Chains A and B, each alone.
Chain A
Amino acid sequence: MIDVKLVVDLNRCQGYAQCVFLAPDVFTLHGEEALLYDAGPADGEREHVSQAAAACPVHAITTDLPVHHDGE
């Protein structure tokens, strides 16, 4: 059973690595700018993934989570 679903538009991704910083157990840079990720992380990553999606400068991350707002 998958807890969180996500997908990254790697045409858009430019390797800013905000997601790697905010959800290091989900996203990882492979080499200098190739992003790899677990598209179905466990429920415990919910908040991290939500923050990563919100922080992506090019809005490349789509999830099935509610949109994250700072301060919530």
Chain B
Amino acid sequence: MGSDVRIVIVGASLAGVRAAEALRGQGFDGSLTLIGDEPYEPYDRPPLSKAVLLGIMPPDHAALPYRSDLDAKWLLGVRATTLDLENNRVVLSDGDAVEFDKVLIATGVRARPWSNSSEAALDGVFTVRTCDDSRRLNERLSAGPRHVLVIGAGFTGSEIASVCRERGLSVTVTERGPAPLVGALGGVVAAVAADMQRDHGVDLRTGVTVTGLDGDSDGRLCRAHLSGGTALDVDVAIVAQGSIRNTDWLAGSGLAAGPRGVTCDAGCRAFDINGIVTDNVFVAGDVARQPHPLYDYQLLALEHWGNAIGQAEVAAHNMIHDGLRRRPHLEIPAFWSSQFGVNIKSVGIPTYSDQVVITQGSVADRRFVAAYGFRGRVTAAVAFNQGKWLDFYRGLIESAAEFPPDFDVMDRADPFEVRPSELPDPAVLSHGPTVAVTGHLPTERRVEFVSLPK
């Protein structure tokens, strides 16, 4: 593409830097600007709740490698405050503005803070999203707190609880739902996660919320009040109640942006508020909300490491290619977590299911694969210490294979029992066409219709 074209990437984390690399890798030789609100070059976030808190790596070691010939202008420590699509410019918190021909929105998410701001400001109350967060929490955990409270048993909260136990710290986890990870994995597999926590000495309290946090006269956290009226003496509380998408700065931009993300097409092109696709505004990473053909074209917003890279590459490609040369983002969602000595990996969308079956291994041994199905086809698989099988299940998902899966597998689970996946009623989901992903090379990846299994 011509060297007079100006591309601006708002968000200098994983999606932003991978998009910049892809642009240069595909020969874009125009000007490239990255804007990031943190004063650091792009860094990797998954270690912040694992290796950093375990003391295996210092937080400032998380910097991401990127190609040395990126030739980008970095505007770091400055926030984008306005997207002005009348004049095609991004206005910055320092008053400057950057003009663009094409812009990529990759502003991600931030940690959802504790709802009471004076309680959130107590010394000892943490969230974990940035390397500064992780550094501060690591220092506090290293000082040997008497009792740690983790509020919320999603992946981040569960990983931090695991770290606390490994460091020999006493920890209580509160979760409003019936089990850890239930929102992502459903009740059957979440019950295993609950057992893992308790086996490792976590004081896990499900169906419980934290109603208030008390500080002492020096403003240090000293007590938490739980629903049901009990109180706990705690000196550290980690608020792990999910995230907020960074779309505030897009208010008034005319884009379809809101609390659920920035809506875009399968080629990462943003929609405006009329539902009309834009030509020069692209979206990638945690802030994107995109239809996926395998999941009935539902708009998915995924906070997955791999999704950020996949969308960044597709967005970059489509920023510099037109018409039929554009590519869809058809990657099967995937993520991992490690906690309590177990490697949890997932492909597909486990929440897009009505049934689940343990297909391989043994739940008791914490080594198994669970396959998820929705209305007769395989939609996801989750492995506990059995990650090596997931490529096979990815193939089943891509080809819309029948569920329950009918195959001879290694280490077949016994009993082979199909159960409800214990997720919110999937009947409320729309039931669109069933499609399969075809094509091996990125440029060939397309979908085709398949008939539903009988």
Contact = CB atoms under 8 A, between A and B. Distances in A.
Given A2-B63, A40-B61, A9 B338 contact: no
Given A37-B56, A39-B47, A32 B63 contact: no
B305 interface: yes
Contact of A33 (B54, B56, B61, B343): B343
Contacts of A28: 56
A5 interface: yes
B64 interface: yes
Given A31-B338, A34-B341, A38-B56, A9 B306 contact: yes
Residue from the set A6, A10, A31 with the largest chain B CB neighbour count within 10 Å? A10
Interface string A43-62: 00000000000000000001
B343 A39 contact: no
A42 B8 CA distance: 33
A11 B335 contact: yes
Interface in B329-368: 334-336, 338, 341-343, 345, 367
B341 A30 contact: yes
Given A10-B336, A30-B341, A34-B338, A39 B387 contact: no
A15 B61 CA distance: 22
Contact of B51 (A14, A15, A36, A63): A36
20 contacts: A7-B64, A9-B306, A10-B305, A10-B336, A11-B334, A14-B388, A30-B341, A31-B338, A31-B343, A33-B387, A34-B343, A36-B47, A36-B50, A37-B51, A37-B56, A37-B57, A38-B51, A38-B56, A38-B57, A62-B65
Given A11-B335, A64-B65, A40 B342 contact: no
Nearest to A63: B65
Nearest to A5: B65
Contacts of B387: 13-15, 33
Contact of B345 (A11, A41, A64): A11
B181 to A, nearest CB: 16
Contact of A31 (B47, B54, B66, B341): B341
B46 A10 contact: yes
Given A34-B338, A37-B51, A7 B57 contact: no
A28 B56 CA distance: 9
Contacts, number: 78
Given A9-B306, A33-B385, A38 B61 contact: yes
Interface residues of B, number: 31
B57 A5 contact: no
Contacts of A63: 65
Most buried by A among B61, B63, B388: B61
A20 to B, nearest CB: 13
B402 interface: no
A6 B65 contact: yes
A4 to B, nearest CB: 8
Given A32-B343, A63-B65, A64-B65, 19 more contacts: A2-B60, A5-B64, A7-B65, A9-B306, A10-B336, A11-B305, A11-B336, A30-B338, A31-B341, A32-B341, A34-B338, A34-B341, A34-B343, A36-B54, A38-B57, A39-B47, A39-B63, A40-B60, A64-B68
Nearest to B339: A34
Interface in B157-199: none
Nearest to B337: A34
B343 A40 contact: no
Contacts of B58: 40
